Chains A and B, each alone.
Chain A
Amino acid sequence: MTDEPRFEHPPEERAPSYLAESHSLRSWFFTTDHKRIALLYLVSITLFFLIGAGAAALIRLDLLTPQGDLLTNDGYNRAFSIHGIIMVWFFLIPSIPNVLGNFLVPIMIGTRDLAFPRLNLLSWYIYILSGLLTLYVVVSGGVDTGWTFYTPLSSVYANGAVVATIVAVFISGFSTILTGLNFIVTIHKLRAPGMTWSRLPLFIWSHYAVSIIFVLATPVLAITLLLVAAERLIGIGVFDPRLGGDPLLFQHLFWFYSHPAVYIMVLPALGVVSELITAAAHKRIFGYWFVAFASIAIAVIGFMVWGHHMFVSGQSVFASAVFSFLSIAVAVPSAIKVYNWTATLYKADVAIDAPLLFALGFIGLFVAGGLTGLMLAMLAIDVHVTDTYFVVAHFHYIMVGGSVTAFFGGLHFWWPKMTGRLYNETLGRIAAILILVGFNITFFPQFLLGYQGMPRRYHVYPPEFQVLHVISSLGAALLAVGYAMPAFYLLWSLLPGGRRAPANPWGASGLEWTTSSPPPKHNFIAQPVVVRQPYDYPLAHPASRDDG
């Protein structure tokens, strides 16, 4: 064991924190500081989460009775469409990358800002613009296509504000592309001296992987949606069988984007969890290179499995068999991560705080969601459960149980760094457990519903499904309480008199913990120089000093 400092950095000098720099509104809305932009994103995605959650609340209330007494059929369709669209494009995709990623990527690699700070601000404005358009869609009567916009329903038959929605999602894509571009360039060109690729935190690796998807997949969605809008406006017919176009072409293009997009939603979460687990274990991650390359492997293989959403669409049998096989292949890197996290805890020095509870909750739910994903990838099973609540349960396990939980975990873990305040740890642990319990009550019954044959997007349903639906709705209420708790105690910690956070409250490694909480405007007082491996905890030090 050693007690040298982990990173060579000059003695603490006092510099005003990035929050104290200036208080004017201008200094927020025209900031190019990645940390402030991260907070702008935090506030905006929280607002969108509330809207998406409001729609979820409507869905769950409506499904309490088999006849769907609360909403009309059209109203219900609009509720789940807007729920899916907002949750996917306006909450989950920007959540971890744009909040935690924006805040941490430059600090973790030891630089002052992202490579293109003004572009970063621009991407927030683009996001807000597209968000406003979405709000317009919500108030102007909504959209009734589902988040998948299948043609020819969306291009010809739907009567909601389809074009406006498409334009909103289209615009938001630019925000995503610019963010990805910014991350890639930053990670390539702005690493601190000594921050070699083998010393990058895993959070950075997964953001690197996700940026690749941002840049390469999002434009495909853009052009696809453009074609749908053109179809609606001038009838170009590419997806319209009446002109000889092909509706399945839309599905191929959409899923070519959207399957990688589901990894957009989970890769950053995997990065967060790697950080939470090692920090709680106070031990180097088991199998650094395997975990790092698993992210890249997921990003790459993830581009080749889109057809598993189309097993019953009429695509060729051969194609289905190939996509099914590749879907199994893409699960392997996820398996590697899960097993490595488990091994990291072996002989560790585990601090059981709220972030770890969130991380463990994540792993449990992600594994459940991932393995049911594998079931869906099995052709004969998918034929039965596709487009049922089994699928709904699968993706909520991963996206809500997984990614949202990881987001909450990360938010707790880096809250002291972002705000300079400590939240109430006991309440944090209670919230973590409440969310885990509420979540399972909400979504586990949906697996059963799905296998019994309850199709998704059903407003009225056969009465034999009611009991499970009621359980699910009750669980959602519990879940809502779980989600509301952090909102209170986190904000509470910001009040004057909240406890101040030291630079490194968790005793964690990583460059972000070497600077003050909250960091100064330029992150570090002097350029840090990295001389150690990542996760260089004293434990197991002698044995692993040389490994890469």
Chain B
Amino acid sequence: MAEGGVQEPFARAARQREAERLGMLIFLASEVMLFGGIFAAALALRLEHPAGYVDAAHHLKLWLGTANTGVLLTSSLCAALAVQAARNGQARWAACALWGAVALGTVFLAIKGVEYAGEYREGLMPGMATTHFEGRTQQLFMNLYFIGTGLHAVHVTFGLALLAAAALNRGARQDRHAMLIGNVALYWHLVDVIWVFLYPTLYLAGVR
């Protein structure tokens, strides 16, 4: 009675799809909790050093962060379009949209890299001599910034790999239920959402 593509414990493909989607959502919930720790730390830091935090945030390249927010949001849009396209049976469009998302994601990483390089030159990386920092709070802030955005960048990289895998997978593109693409897109949206929270926490805090 098994339909094509149905795997072991499942008898019906629809049920398996529901299960996979639920599994993905639960996984994302646990990812949210992972970043929750970073946000809690940022909150504590800000409450304890209100002035220092704002000063330190002021030193981030706000316009690079803003550009990156735009890039990532657009990329997320592409992923959503890919899901729609796959649902409509437009496998080719789906591939285009996916590659678009990959390209924009790569741009995001590139911009982030430029930003990191700048901070490296200024000597603001964790573990570097403390003399370059204006104060301890700035050092603390920059360290947290690196941990937060670094962990996020790892997720971006991982998401890019998933997006590329989905784009290369013909079966996934032709799947009218957009299962694989749908799940990958969900992951990508999460990566996006996390950034949407990191951005105000780190960059916008410095806007006076």
Contact = CB atoms under 8 A, between A and B. Distances in A.
A–B contact via C-beta, under 8 angstroms:
yes
Interface of A: 32, 106, 111-117, 177, 180-182, 184-186, 188-190, 215-220, 222-224, 226-227, 230, 233-238, 242-246, 249, 252-253, 527
A13 B34 CA distance: 48
Nearest to A183: B26
Contacts of A222: 34, 37
A391 B38 CA distance: 30
9 contacts: A112-B9, A115-B23, A215-B33, A216-B29, A219-B30, A222-B34, A227-B41, A238-B147, A244-B137
Given A244-B49, A244-B52, A246-B44, A113 B8 contact: yes
B126 interface: yes
B177 to A, nearest CB: 16
A220 B33 contact: yes
Please give me the 4 A-B residue pairs with the lowest Cβ-Cβ distance, nearest first: A223-B37, A236-B143, A234-B127, A219-B34
Secondary structure of the B contact surface, majority rule: helix
Interface stretch (B14-22, B89-97, B104-112, B190-198): B14-22
B126 A236 contact: yes
B139 interface: yes
Given A113-B8, A249-B40, A181 B31 contact: no
Contacts of B132: none
B120 interface: no
B44 A249 contact: yes
Contact of A117 (B9, B44, B48): B9
Interface size class of B (residues with CB under 8 A): 35 or more
Interface in B20-56: 22-23, 26-27, 29-31, 33-38, 40-41, 44-45, 48-49, 52
Contacts of A117: 8-9
Interface of B: 8-11, 15, 18-19, 22-23, 26-27, 29-31, 33-38, 40-41, 44-45, 48-49, 52, 126-127, 136-137, 139-140, 143-144, 146-147, 151
A112 B144 contact: no
Nearest to A182: B23
A190 B19 contact: yes
B136 A244 contact: yes
A244 B11 CA distance: 57
A164 to B, nearest CB: 20
A223 B15 CA distance: 33
A223 B34 contact: yes
A246 B9 contact: no
B37 A253 contact: yes
B30 A177 contact: yes
Contacts of B52: 244
Contacts of B136: 237, 242-244
A112 B127 contact: no
Nearest to B38: A223
Contact of A217 (B31, B33, B38, B126): B33
A413 B141 CA distance: 55
Contacts of B8: 32, 112-113, 117
Contact of B26 (A181, A217, A220, A230): A181
B111 to A, nearest CB: 23
Given A188-B22, A244-B48, A244-B52, A237 B9 contact: no
A186 B19 CA distance: 8
Given A112-B9, A189-B15, A223-B34, A184 B22 contact: yes
B140 A220 contact: no
B36 A220 contact: yes
Contacts of B9: 106, 111-115, 117, 186, 190
Nearest to A252: B40
- B10, B22, B40, B143 interface centre (most CB from chain A within 10 Å): B143
Contacts of B22: 184-185, 188-189
Contacts of B29: 215-216
Contacts of A180: 26
B31 to A, nearest CB: 7
Nearest to B142: A236
B194 to A, nearest CB: 12
Contact of A235 (B33, B40, B126): B126
Contacts of A114: 9
Nearest to A238: B41
Given A112-B9, A185-B26, A236 B147 contact: yes
Given A116-B23, A181-B27, A216-B33, A234 B126 contact: yes
Nearest to A214: B30
Given A190-B19, A236-B146, A244-B52, 14 more contacts: A113-B9, A177-B27, A182-B23, A186-B9, A188-B22, A189-B15, A189-B18, A215-B29, A216-B33, A227-B41, A236-B126, A245-B45, A249-B40, A253-B40
A181 B38 CA distance: 23
Nearest to A218: B30
B184 to A, nearest CB: 17
A249 B8 CA distance: 45
Contacts of B37: 219-220, 222-224, 227, 253
Nearest to B23: A185
Contacts of B151: 223, 226
B108 to A, nearest CB: 22
Given A227-B147, A235-B127, A237-B140, A184 B30 contact: no
A246 B147 contact: no
